């Protein structure tokens, strides 16, 4: 199944049905009188967040959505039937944006959330409702109120607890494959990940969701590489896991490049709690690991965890720290935020 996180669609609610013009023609009813019923209400456009969806690919092939119009009224004061509401199912995490792609109209953050976006038009009045003491046989009627219509953008922001960030080839896909049931593509070249990946981690009786996004390079905010469009998928993450390749020529510079792109993107990404990991240490000796960790810690101002996603060294340590950071009542997390008890690495 292809991944699509943005789509533009057209939506229109139903028009109200017309009122009827009718007169009673019944035996023993003297003079009769108007009995035209009102028209039915048009259907609403409704968005609903449903579980089990993680892409907007369906909206690439169906882009126009129109709710049913109301039925017309009839004689004997019968009101027309209302049009059926049109329910558009979207993945949890979807935002409905105005045509300018900036104004958020609806935001779906939980499964089962249901919102009426466009209300259908009311039905027109039948001639019975126009009857007065001076107008005993009215022939006017309402044609029904028109529905509303709009072009909107759907934007999907995956919901995850932890977001993976780093340069291309930092080992993010290897890590998510090692700790979850995801099957992210792994290769010895940059940008093997071209779309976000989700995986569920089960560790020490806890479960949480990790999101892996394509790697960032310098200038991503201006469109370099794949750009920064996928950063929206980690806006709602509680913790960021920043992986740095220990084989990079300058691990401190690798860290700063990604942090600068996060800052340029905004949305509070640089304010999130972060765990910095020196990855791919399986090919290095202990002395070099300690030196690179110290260099990276100086650049980031945060404790650094050495790890190898391929061999599994340090992976459990990283997962332990993620669980602690996601638990706001954990005292050890509070202590680490104050700079006490920094993480110290020792050979494993």
Domain 162-337 has CATH 3.40.50.300: yes
Residue 292 burial (C-beta neighbours within 10 Å; 0-12, 13-18, 19+):
buried
**More confident site: 13 or 219:** 13
What pLDDT does 342 receive? 41
What pLDDT does 333 receive? 38
Q: What pTM does this model have?
A: 0.70
Confidence class for position 229, pLDDT limits 50, 70, 90:
low
Residues 246, 252, 255, 258, CA torsion sign: negative
204 annotated among ligand-binding-site residues: no
Two structure tokens written together for 23: 């007169």
323 annotated among ligand-binding-site residues: no
Residue ranges of alpha helices (H) inside 200-250 are: none
310 annotated among ligand-binding-site residues: yes
- Helix, strand, coil percentages in the chain from 3-state DSSP, rounded to 5: 25, 25, 55
193 annotated among ligand-binding-site residues: yes
341 annotated among ligand-binding-site residues: no
**Whether the predicted pLDDT of 120 surpasses 70:** yes
Q: Into which CATH architecture does domain 1-156 fall? A: Distorted Sandwich (2.70)
pLDDT (tens digit per residue) in 284-295: 888 888 999 899
Longest dimension (CA), the chain: 108
177 annotated among ligand-binding-site residues: no
123 annotated among ligand-binding-site residues: no
254 annotated among ligand-binding-site residues: no
Residue 256 burial (C-beta neighbours within 10 Å; 0-12, 13-18, 19+):
middle
Share of the chain above pLDDT 70, in %: 85
Tell me what the mean pLDDT of segment 112-138 comes to: 93
226 annotated among ligand-binding-site residues: no
pLDDT (tens digit per residue) in 130-182: 999 889 889 999 999 999 999 999 988 877 788 888 888 888 888 888 888 76
- Give residue limits of the domains in the chain: 1-156, 162-337
212 annotated among ligand-binding-site residues: yes
Q: Which of 38, 49, 47 is nearest to 16 (CA)?
A: 38
166 annotated among ligand-binding-site residues: yes
What pLDDT does 344 receive? 47
What pLDDT does 180 receive? 83
What pLDDT does 337 receive? 42
Whether 1-156 and 162-337 share one fold: the answer is no
172 annotated among ligand-binding-site residues: yes
Only one residue has tokens 């945060």, namely 302
309 annotated among ligand-binding-site residues: yes
213 annotated among ligand-binding-site residues: yes
Strands (E), the chain: 6-12, 45-50, 64-66, 86-91, 94-97, 104-107, 114-118, 149-156, 162-165, 197-203, 206-212, 239-245, 273-279, 304-306
């Amino acid at each position: 199944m292809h991944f699509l996180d943005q789509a533009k669609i057209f939506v229109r609610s139903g028009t109200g049905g017309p009122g009827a013009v009718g007169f009673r023609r019944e035996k023993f009813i003297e003079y009769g009188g108007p009995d035209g019923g009102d028209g039915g209400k048009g259907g609403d456009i409704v968005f609903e967040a449903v579980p089990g969806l993680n892409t907007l690919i369906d909206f690439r092939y169906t882009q126009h959505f129109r709710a049913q119009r109301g039925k017309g009224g009839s004689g004997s004061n019968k009101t027309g039937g209302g049009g059926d509401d049109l329910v558009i199912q979207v993945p949890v995490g979807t935002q409905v944006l105005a045509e300018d792609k900036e104004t958020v109209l609806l935001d779906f953050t939980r499964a089962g959330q249901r919102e009426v976006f466009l209300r259908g038009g009311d039905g027109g009045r039948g001639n019975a409702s126009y009857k007065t003491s001076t107008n005993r046989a009215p022939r006017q009627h309402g044609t029904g109120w028109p529905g509303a219509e709009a072009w909107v953008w759907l934007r999907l922001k995956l919901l995850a607890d932890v977001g993976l960030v780093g340069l291309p080839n930092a080992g993010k896909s290897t890590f998510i494959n090692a700790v979850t049931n995801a099957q992210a593509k792994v290769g010895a070249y940059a940008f093997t990940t071209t779309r976000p990946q989700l995986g569920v981690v089960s560790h020490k009786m806890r479960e949480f969701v990790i999101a892996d996004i394509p790697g960032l390079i310098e200038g991503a905010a201006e469109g370099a590489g794949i750009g920064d469009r996928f950063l929206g998928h980690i806006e709602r993450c509680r913790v960021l896991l920043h992986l740095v390749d220990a084989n990079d020529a300058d691990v401190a510079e690798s860290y700063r490049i990604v942090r600068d792109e996060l800052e340029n993107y905004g949305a509070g990404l640089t304010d999130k709690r972060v765990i910095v990991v020196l990855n791919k240490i399986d090919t290095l000796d202990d002395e070099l690991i300690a030196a690179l960790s110290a260099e990276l810690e100086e650049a980031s101002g945060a404790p650094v965890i050495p790890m190898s996603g391929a061999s599994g060294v340090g992976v459990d340590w990283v997962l332990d720290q993620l669980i602690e950071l996601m638990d706001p009542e954990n005292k050890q997390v509070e202590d680490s935020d104050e700079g006490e008890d920094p993480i110290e690495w020792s050979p494993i």
